[in-house]
Amino acid sequence: MTSAELRGAIDRALAEVPRRLASGELDGSGRFYTDEELAAGAATGKLQKKEKSGAAPTAWCALRWRGSRGFRRKTLKTRPNPYDAVAYPGMPNAGTHPDNLAAMATLHGLTPPPVERCRVLEIACGNGSNLIPMAYAIPTSEFVGFDLARLPVERGQRRIAELGLKNVRLFQMDMLEAGADLGRFDYIIAHGFYAWVPEPVRERLLAFCSEQLAGNGVAFISYNAMPGGHLRSMMRGMMLFGSKGIEDPEQEVAEGLNFLRLVVETLPESDV
């Protein structure tokens, strides 16, 4: 882990602190802190890292803030990004293709930007499995993607280099840091993202779209909704239960799947 990445881990951990303090997560006494107290707090930024063989390092962030009883100190442990530790199987999603977005927009009475001359941004692009095929198919348009996880982005960058594509680039970035310097986009895609990220990230996504989407541009933001989401949520709940207390992300997934198998195997034949 480079020092810049370490700094990124600290910043992300710090960004989470107000929420964790507000929810009481960081204070054993259950005391809640006001915004003023938080603003007065000083993050010491002291950080250690622990290398686990083959696993992404875990970081601890030491924080110091002024409470009513003087300075207080807490140590916040950041988990490795699970998308760095476990490769996510990305794949093309036809619904997000500018052809489809332009067709849908036209059916709704809009005049979308021409697909053969457009700028497309994919937020949380993973390894680019969705974006790279689009860039290959529409060489006259420009495709940009970013993701918080570094390793999938690096895999995508290698694929782009192998294909020799000049109209697509991927980079690592946190949605919270996305701003006007990325430019304006005719199409913005965020699939498998909104329902996966905390509230401040969702808000930044929506604000970014309103700031950086071109006049007649189209944003595709997918999300899980109830009641259909119950099916996925049920599986998630069982996997979390079955893997409780396990820190290593790969082992966590394996134990979660083992638990699901156990549930299926122990069900009476008539229930399957």
- Helices first, then strands: H and E counts in the chain: 9, 8
Beta strands in 109-230 (DSSP E): 119-123, 142-147, 168-172, 185-190, 213-221
At residue 29, the 3 state secondary structure works out as coil
> Which of 215, 208, 205, 218 has its CA nearest to residue 108?
218
101 contributes a contact to ligand SAM by CB under 6 A: no
Contact 96, 191 (CB under 8 A): yes
Residues 6+ apart with CB under 8 A from 241: 259
Shortest CB 32 distance to ligand SAM, Å: 26
The correct pick among 115, 124, 138, 168 for binding ligand SAM (CB under 6 A) is 124
Cβ nearer to ligand SAM, comparing 65 with 208 = 208
Cβ nearer to ligand SAM, comparing 196 with 241 = 196
Q: Which segment (53-61, 133-141, 170-178, 248-256) binds ligand SAM by CB under 6 A?
A: 170-178
List the Cα angle 175/77/149 in 5-degree steps.
Answer: 30
CB atoms within 10 A of CB 111: 10
Among positions 57-86, residues that touch ligand SAM (CB under 6 A) are: 83
132 contributes a contact to ligand SAM by CB under 6 A: no
Residues 6+ apart with CB under 8 A from 158: none
Distance from C-alpha of 145 to C-alpha of 130, rounded to nearest angstrom: 10
202 contributes a contact to ligand SAM by CB under 6 A: no
37 contributes a contact to ligand SAM by CB under 6 A: no
Among positions 182-201, residues that touch ligand SAM (CB under 6 A) are: 191-193, 196-197, 201
175 contributes a contact to ligand SAM by CB under 6 A: yes
Site string for ligand SAM, 133-152 (x = CB under 6 A): --------------xxx---
97 contributes a contact to ligand SAM by CB under 6 A: no
Among positions 2-21, residues that touch ligand SAM (CB under 6 A) are: none
Cβ nearer to ligand SAM, comparing 105 with 148 = 148
Element (H, E) at 13: helix 3-22
Cβ nearer to ligand SAM, comparing 180 with 272 = 180
Binding site for ligand SAM (CB under 6 A): 83, 88, 90, 124, 126, 147-149, 174-176, 191-193, 196-197, 201
